[in-house]
Amino acid sequence: MAGLRNESEQEPLLGDTPGSREWDILETEEHYKSRWRSIRILYLTMFLSSVGFSIVMMSIWPYLQKIDPTADTSFLGWVIASYSLGQMVASPIFGLWSNYRPRKEALIVSILISVAANCLYAYLHIPASHNKYYMLVARGLLGIGAASTDEAQVPQGNIDQVAVVAINVLFFVALFIFALFETIITPLTMDMYAWTQEQAVLYNGIILAALGVEAVVIFLGVKLLSKKIGERAILLGGLIVVWVGFFILLPWGNQFPKIQWEDLHNNSIPNTTFGEIIIGLWKSPMEDDNERPTGCSIEQAWCLYTPVIHLAQFLTSVVLIGLGYPVCNLMSYTLYSKILGPKPQGVYMGWLTASGSGARILGPMFISQVYAHWGPRWAFSLVCGIIVLTITLLGVVYKRLIALSVRYGRIQE
């Protein structure tokens, strides 16, 4: 039975510091089975949660436009950021709650909040006005409902705090980049390729599904590769790949996107017959959506002078970003866990969660504002600059990103 276990699953839980009695193996066979049963349940929970998140993510922009035509890409950034803001605020509260009360209480409350938020999100089209603000509230409540998994525990000593802060920054940048990418992908493709709302949701959903498959393959391959070259080198390589992806995404050439010219209407009352009015009322919403103008909106001045991002250029960039992001994400978690060592990591993991939530707040806000006012050239150029600074930070702290056991001479690096 033991011979069939995965190598990673055979790693025991260790005690406090080298030389102490607690450094010996503490885990029994019963504890081992219980621990991995819980981990596998968490795998399934995170999988289902990610599936739901991805489905909603691709449809937010078309849904927002449909329920409230006054919403623009700037407000889209706030809507997406509200989820992580709710999560960041609620995580410490649920963590403290779990410390002093049974954990199932916090879990049940978070589930009820999530159900209520999803019901509100499903019926956002019903209110007569201010629908975009109801969406803002719904997304914030969803973030609060997703915060119950964070638990606050007592931190440990003997940890390189510089390495801890550095990994938090690296993790922040990784999630910041992907958050802004998944935020802007739908408006970008609708502007560049004159896709309708339905086409944007369908095609981008297929793209993200393909990226999910790519990520699974990468996770399997990275485990083998990390044994040969180490996690730090893989993290550096992931950042470089992401930088190349965004650099390719920069607009070049002399071809420009199709301009979306809004219809001009005067204030006079049109001569419409009663029959035409009835026919208009009976037209299906799908027909109305198909008649909406497509292309890069004339309200965005940059559409007139910014070259189009070719589809092949876009798809190449997507593949590279989809390759680099999961590597950066996984290696950040791996290095962080090793730096902290075998003691309970609740507080430190809470910081990492807060860092990721902050990234998901600022990323959508950043990209929506810069994209709306200055276009993709400025937006992606700034992203490239941020990645360069992050690579520089990684180079500075590279030698400090080592496991606690290596730092104290328990294991050779």
Task: State the CATH number of the domain containing residue 352.
Answer: 1.20.1250.20
Beta bridge partners of 260: 297
Chain centroid to Cα 212, Å, comes to 13
**Which residue, 150, 174, 195, sits at the end of a domain?**
150
Q: Return the ∠ at Cα 399 (arms to 398 and 402), rounded to 5°.
A: 100
Return the pLDDT at 4.
Answer: 40
Q: Answer whether 0.85 is exceeded by the pTM.
A: no
Residue 61 vs residues 75, 139, 302, 357: alpha-carbon distances, Å: 10, 13, 20, 20
Local structure of residue 343 (DSSP, 8 states)? S
Return the pLDDT at 150.
Answer: 46
DSSP calls for 164-195: HHHHHHHHHHHHHHHHHHHHHHHHHHHHHH--
Question: Residue 50: CB partners within 8 Å, gap ≥ 6?
Answer: none
- Per the prediction, the chain carries an average pLDDT of 79
Q: Look at residue 72 and give its three-state secondary structure.
A: coil
**Which residue, 97, 117, 150, sits at the end of a domain?**
150
CA distance 117 to 146: 11
- In terms of domains, do 304 and 395 share one? yes
Return the pLDDT at 277.
Answer: 39
| Both tokens assigned to 212 | 């999910």
- The better pLDDT of the pair 284, 303 is held by 303
Cα-Cα end-to-end distance for the chain: 30
Look at residue 245 and tell me whether its pLDDT is greater than 70: yes
**Which residue, 102, 131, 150, sits at the end of a domain?**
150
Residue 34, in any domain of the structure: no
- In terms of domains, do 114 and 171 share one? no
CA distance 326 to 212: 9
Number of domains in the chain: 2
Q: Which pLDDT tens digit goes with each residue over 149-197?
A: 544 444 455 788 899 899 999 999 999 998 899 889 988 999 999 898 8
Structural domain boundaries, residue 404? 151-263+293-412
| Both tokens assigned to 240 | 């470089």
| Both tokens assigned to 71 | 């919403």
| Poorest-pLDDT segment among 50-59, 66-75, 314-323, 358-367 | 50-59
Q: How many CB atoms lie within 10 A of CB 407?
A: 19
Looking up tokens 């996690």 gives 231
